[in-house]
Structure 1
Amino acid sequence: MKINKYLKIGGLSLALTAMLSTSCQNVLEQEFRSELGPEFFATAGGLEGGITASYSIMRFFWGSEGFTYTANAGTDESMLGASDGNTTYFQYTNILPSEGSVSGIWNNCYQAINNLNGVLKFGPTANVDPARRTALLAEAKFLRGFFYFELVKTFGDIPLNLEFIEVPTTSATRQPIADVYAAIIKDLTEASQELPNTSNQSKGRATKPAALHLLAKAYLTRGWSTAAQPTDFQMAAATAKSLIDNQATYSLGLEQDFANVHREGNEYGKEVLFTVDRNTDPSYAESQFNNSPQIASGNKENRTNFFWVALYTQAINVNAGIPGAPTNTVAVMDRDTRNGRPFRRFRPTNYTLNTAFGERVNDSRYFKTFQSAWIFNRPTPVSTSRGTLVTGQDTALWMPGVEVTVAQRRAFKGVIWTPSQYTADLHPTMTKYVAVNRLTVNESSYRPYILFRLADTYLLAAEAYIKDNKPTEAAAMINAVRQRAAFRSTNTAAQNTAAVTAVTITPAQATIDFLLDERTRELYGEYTRWQDLVRTQTLKTRLARYNPTPGFKDFQVLRPIPQSQIDLVTTGPRFPQNPGY
């Protein structure tokens, strides 16, 4: 088993004899300042600190490059851009047990779980205000259920340990997913009953609505699995619906305008149920901050603002598509903080652009998800056959998302870049993670990551209703999301009403296939797609239909067990690998 002797909480490293239920290796050497035993969890500071440390571990995932690949690559939605990114997860080639992204999920989840087991063992006797203690222990249950849910979705059968491990051991076994789901649902059920409706401690803390959302998703995911219980889809629908019906009680609601959901500065908006918190304090944000005075502190850096950005600085023929115009190849944009650092790790597939977002007249989400215009920002003028671009005024690059006529190109001073011109370098940029408020151009994001939001709750409820053969109820849930998507602030009231009518679906249209298209429209790039397709058992068919990936094998709906885990179990039966790896 893996020994983690020092638990890092914020800026303080606490010496603990805390063993993870995963593997056995040398003691993790970290600087520490206080020799404190596990009983520290029974103090007020230890109880708070153990919870804070477990929240902090989430930042190893949401925002890191490796985890972003595991969540978004190898799906119908996205393919690799022209960068030097890792092709492994896009093409399903060489996903090995030694791959760092999967071992990172395993090791970090189990580290958090053992922290939480310590909190739940020692916390009930902590000298803390009883109401606060109850809320903290409920947060621990939520978080333990959260991390076990990540593990079981990713790896299948896994070690299940609900006790704080203090004595090292070199043996470990895997428990069936049925046992793991039972533990997850128990934790999340209790958390949903004990957590407050809203948090007055921190925006990034678990609350009752966050627990209800995750509980609904756990029921739903188990319902699709080999561990399914007869009432799973009913329970998933009822749990999600209880959150939806009581949203006002929790000070929640769908944003009127989809553009506001991911607007920078609105990460704690009324639609948000749970975030992975961040801020500009270097000891809290734990970022490597390129070319900035911030303190480097490891791989919890939030680079979501880089991964989806196209190479808008590329030199292009500014007269392309205009017969008779001279060739003039030049960059029409310089890199800046508003438009981002062009890592181009991900680009949308034809399915995403043409099928999921194919209807753009009444559904406003395409232009609120992808950047379509870049304002000329170069200090040196650039001339096209139509005129000279003025800094800060003219649109230098425009991606209208459709083909245009030569006449339209001649009438536009800048460059029009249409779908037939898209390349792995230059393509629509997804804008949900834009981070303008940074100190330098190449700096990563300070923004909190929105992990759960209410629109997803509606879609999870719809999926559960579809599986429970209730298409009328499913359509109502989908329509709530689609009707919001019809809103444009530039429309008249009558135009918005007409758009709502146009996007409303019938119960007969409420199918899993339609729902998955809807999830792309609503949740593109929000770290759910790979698991969505695995959960709904559609990964293989949708890859074949929309993004053929010859390397994919049926067994790859699970990730490999980390080789370090297998090698370090030296007592008892050999720790088993997932089939195919």
Structure 2
Amino acid sequence: MKYINIKTLLGAAAIVALTATSCNKLLDEQPRSIYEPGFFKTEKGIRGGITSMYAHLRYIYGQAYYYNATLTGTDEVTYGQSADGNFKDMDLSGVGEITPSSSRADVLWGAALSNINTASGIIENASEVGVSDALVAEARFFRAFDYFQLVQTFGGVPLDLGSGELMPNDKPARTSVRNTVPEVYTKGVFPDLIKAVNDLPMVGRVTGGATKTLARLYLAKAYLTYAWWLENPNNIPTYPETDRTDPDGHNAQWYFQQAYDIATEAIDNPGPFGLQPTYYDVNVGSNDRNNEILLYADHTEASEFYNASSLTYANGGGADNFAGWMMTWNYTDIRSALDTDWSALISSVQREADQHLGRPWTRMAPTIGVIKNTFADKTLDSRYDGTFTTVYRANWPKGGINEEFVYNANNMQVRPGEPILTFLDEEPAAAIDYSNSKYKSNIGAGVLPGRADFVVSPDGISRIVYPGLWKLGPYRTDNGTGLGQPNAASTRPFSIAKFSELYFIAAEAAVKGAAVKGGKSARDLINVIRARAGKWRWDNNGNVAKIEDNSAAMTALTPANITIDYILAERSREYYGEGYRWFDLVRTQKWNDLASTYKIAGTAKGDHNAVTVNRTILPHHYLRPIPQGQIESMLLTPDEKEKYQNPGYN
């Protein structure tokens, strides 16, 4: 198999620096571009291989094309105005088609299988080298982690990469056989995660390192996902074809119970982890690597070498963390005037390396349903404010323009730091004037009487002008008084796993019939999350401190009967735009129910006429195609290649 080779090409800067200013326990290894089998015969080789596993995360998480594959086509995201086939194909709305050549899940296939082989090399040689069980458990975690991502995405995948099941392969193999889904879970996911739970420490070996709590999260999540797969409520086909029976003789209910028990055990024994006091604290860049984040693909502004990406400019590739660009529209097109006749205009919101702004690519866009329905409560619940940039503020002095004020909507004056454009929380009582006949915002935004800022209402959101994703925006401490380096990829870590998800996993398992502990019913667990969501310390888009506790009101509004649909809605509010959604909808088989239609306006500035778009989500779409490059690289007959591919993609 071309993509499965222990000679793991990790790039020019293969080592990730797991940095944090408060801790000096960092991964500090020498980078290697190639690992030979003999390298794992030494302790130095084992440690170097384990370090590479943290590095491989950056080639998946923050990689924008794979990020798109986890979100576009769900109820959370559609394609934006500047989207090409990478994004339109995933939308399933008639503007493209997912094929083995176009599916960007290929990013996962290549990076994960290569890393699995490295992990197997470490595990195979660890006892001979004499490294600790805890160190080997990190390799076991990552092997299971990668197999779990693969089996959710592609169905059954090969456990034998050329030298036997779960054995390292040191020779390029040109043939392959896919194992079934139950085989991947019961041989390649569960055993390694169970061993990792037993052997990993509560406190990571290094900052951001694998821990017992992290392994419990993924074991619980894998049990939950496999339980749904066994139950198969909507008769979605699997591949390779197999009976939905467990080799160990357990039924779906047994696995739901295991998911609940392990998740609640992790909640009760958190070690150094826990929930941040407010939702804002979880995602604000100045608080990255906080104790709610269990795993992240790390980056740093301190060193271009350890960042594995330029600190000044990036093209979007390799180890760049450029996912945040995708849902950033071109706010730099906004114009304000230097005089009341609008004869001289300036860009009043300039491109800046600031969490509210960042580099615009306009490849992905939120649906109107997200703004109006998912985040219907924008008053008590802080999560809308902690997810989107809805107010774009004047920053022209940072770009060297020396003007005291500009003229904006209604020819009112706006000064630096004040709102130039606002996406309204709800439809206003007065009609918005979108004509732009007098005040030319240049983006087709509208005017309301008495307001100096241009406005767009929820029903006016389009593929070209929409609230930005503040959550993933850049954060740097080296901007000085200027715009910083907005064309560089983000130097922030990309969060992969959060302590908060343990509450959702346990709640979902409880809804599916798991016996619950006192004080940990589905409603109890969800209310922990909702109570936190009601606590404010900062009004992000108002740019002012806001000390407000709406937790009692939030929990009072939680329905007595928690359903899967309600959990999915809460998950979207909590993890919007983080890459969870496609997996959530596929796991619960709710993709058609929740994402078969969506509303949004078109691709032209000034288009505020929302239309309903239909998607064609077929059963075979619940698996992504095996990448065409993998199919072509194997020495198989045409019939064997056809059978290797997931049905519906030949």
2:418 to 389, 394, 401: 394
Partners of 1:330 and 1:505 in 2: CA distance: 50
Query: In structure 2, what residue type is equivalent to 1:104?
Result: V
Give the superposed CA RMSD: 2.9
Q: How does 1:166-565 map to 2 (within 5 A)?
A: 166-183=170-187, 184-203=189-208, 205-226=209-230, 227=244, 229-230=250-251, 231-247=254-270, 250-280=271-301, 281-289=303-311, 291=313, 299-315=318-334, 331-338=347-354, 339-378=357-396, 379=401, 380=403, 381-384=405-408, 386-406=410-430, 409-437=448-476, 439-468=484-513, 473-489=521-537, 496=550, 498-506=552-560, 508=561, 510-546=562-598, 548-565=613-630
Q: Kindly tell me: are residues 41 and 502 of structure 1, through their superposed partners in 2, closer, same or farther at Cα, counting changes over 3 Å?
A: same
Query: In structure 1, what residue type is equivalent to 2:391?
Result: A
Q: Kindly tell me: are residues 385 and 391 of structure 1, through their superposed partners in 2, closer, same or farther at Cα, counting changes over 3 Å?
A: closer
Query: In structure 2, what residue type is equivalent to 1:366?
Result: Y
Structure 1 residue 268: Cα displacement: 1.6
Partners of 1:68 and 1:567 in 2: CA distance: 25
Query: In structure 2, what residue type is equivalent to 1:578?
Result: N
**8 A Cα contact 1:79 1:347, kept in partner:** yes
**8 A Cα contact 1:466 1:474, kept in partner:** yes
**8 A Cα contact 1:271 1:453, kept in partner:** yes
The 3-state SS of whatever aligns with 1:310 is coil
Q: Kindly tell me: are residues 77 and 356 of structure 1, through their superposed partners in 2, closer, same or farther at Cα, counting changes over 3 Å?
A: same
Q: Kindly tell me: are residues 260 and 212 of structure 1, through their superposed partners in 2, closer, same or farther at Cα, counting changes over 3 Å?
A: same
Q: Kindly tell me: are residues 9 and 202 of structure 1, through their superposed partners in 2, closer, same or farther at Cα, counting changes over 3 Å?
A: farther
Structure 1 residue 154: Cα displacement: 0.8
The 3-state SS of whatever aligns with 1:409 is coil
1:271-305 Cα shifts (integer Å, max 9, x gaps): 1111112223223322255548xxx9961100123
Partners of 1:36 and 1:377 in 2: CA distance: 48
Query: In structure 1, what residue type is equivalent to 2:528?
Result: A
1:122 aligns with 2:125: yes
**8 A Cα contact 2:475 2:491, kept in partner:** no
The 3-state SS of whatever aligns with 2:140 is helix
The 3-state SS of whatever aligns with 2:462 is coil
Match of 1:25 in 2: none
The 3-state SS of whatever aligns with 2:448 is helix
1:305-352 Cα shifts (integer Å, max 9, x gaps): 31221222224699xxxxxx9899875422222221121222211221
Structure 1 residue 218: Cα displacement: 0.3
Structure 1 residue 413: Cα displacement: 2.1
Query: In structure 1, what residue type is equivalent to 2:489?
Result: S
1:366-403 Cα shifts (integer Å, max 9, x gaps): 11111122221223543136455444242212223222
Structure 1 residue 47: Cα displacement: 0.4
The 3-state SS of whatever aligns with 1:72 is coil
1:510-543 Cα shifts (integer Å, max 9, x gaps): 1011111111111101111001100000111212
**8 A Cα contact 2:408 2:453, kept in partner:** yes
Query: In structure 1, what residue type is equivalent to 2:456?
Result: W
Q: Kindly tell me: are residues 370 and 580 of structure 1, through their superposed partners in 2, closer, same or farther at Cα, counting changes over 3 Å?
A: same
Structure 1 residue 196: Cα displacement: 0.6
Query: In structure 1, what residue type is equivalent to 2:43?
Result: A
Structure 1 residue 4: Cα displacement: 3.5
Q: How does 1:96-111 map to 2 (within 5 A)?
A: 96-99=99-102, 101-111=104-114
Query: In structure 2, what residue type is equivalent to 1:88?
Result: D
Structure 1 residue 253: Cα displacement: 1.6
Structure 1 residue 122: Cα displacement: 1.0
**8 A Cα contact 2:326 2:360, kept in partner:** yes
Structure 1 residue 405: Cα displacement: 4.6
Structure 1 residue 545: Cα displacement: 4.9
Query: In structure 2, what residue type is equivalent to 1:310?
Result: W
Partners of 2:413 and 2:288 in 1: CA distance: 35
Partners of 1:10 and 1:553 in 2: CA distance: 37
1:409-440 Cα shifts (integer Å, max 9, x gaps): 33322223322432222211111111131641
Worse-superposed segment, 471-480 or 426-435: 471-480
Q: Quick one: percent identity of the two aligned structures?
A: 31
Match of 1:38 in 2: 37
Partners of 2:362 and 2:33 in 1: CA distance: 44
The 3-state SS of whatever aligns with 1:242 is helix
Q: Kindly tell me: are residues 491 and 433 of structure 1, through their superposed partners in 2, closer, same or farther at Cα, counting changes over 3 Å?
A: closer
1:112 to 109, 115, 120: 115
Partners of 1:537 and 1:12 in 2: CA distance: 40
Partners of 1:164 and 1:404 in 2: CA distance: 62
1:447-497 Cα shifts (integer Å, max 9, x gaps): 11111111111111111111126697111111111111111236667x535
Partners of 2:51 and 2:69 in 1: CA distance: 25
Partners of 2:646 and 2:200 in 1: CA distance: 36
Ranges in structure 1 where 5+ consecutive residues have no aligned partner:
15-31, 319-324
Structure 1 residue 61: Cα displacement: 1.0
Ranges in structure 2 where 5+ consecutive residues have no aligned partner:
16-30, 161-165, 231-243, 432-446, 479-483, 538-544, 600-612
Partners of 1:82 and 1:64 in 2: CA distance: 20
Worse-superposed segment, 70-79 or 103-112: 103-112
Match of 1:23 in 2: none
The 3-state SS of whatever aligns with 2:596 is helix
Partners of 2:35 and 2:116 in 1: CA distance: 19
Partners of 1:35 and 1:264 in 2: CA distance: 34
Structure 1 residue 12: Cα displacement: 7.8
Partners of 1:104 and 1:266 in 2: CA distance: 29
Partners of 1:297 and 1:102 in 2: CA distance: 16
Structure 1 residue 193: Cα displacement: 0.7
Q: Structure 1-normalised TM-score?
A: 0.87
Query: In structure 1, what residue type is equivalent to 2:635?
Result: T
The 3-state SS of whatever aligns with 1:428 is coil
Worse-superposed segment, 358-367 or 1-10: 1-10
Partners of 1:313 and 1:334 in 2: CA distance: 5
The 3-state SS of whatever aligns with 1:278 is coil
**8 A Cα contact 1:278 1:285, kept in partner:** yes
Partners of 1:259 and 1:35 in 2: CA distance: 41
Partners of 1:452 and 1:514 in 2: CA distance: 21
Partners of 1:90 and 1:333 in 2: CA distance: 30
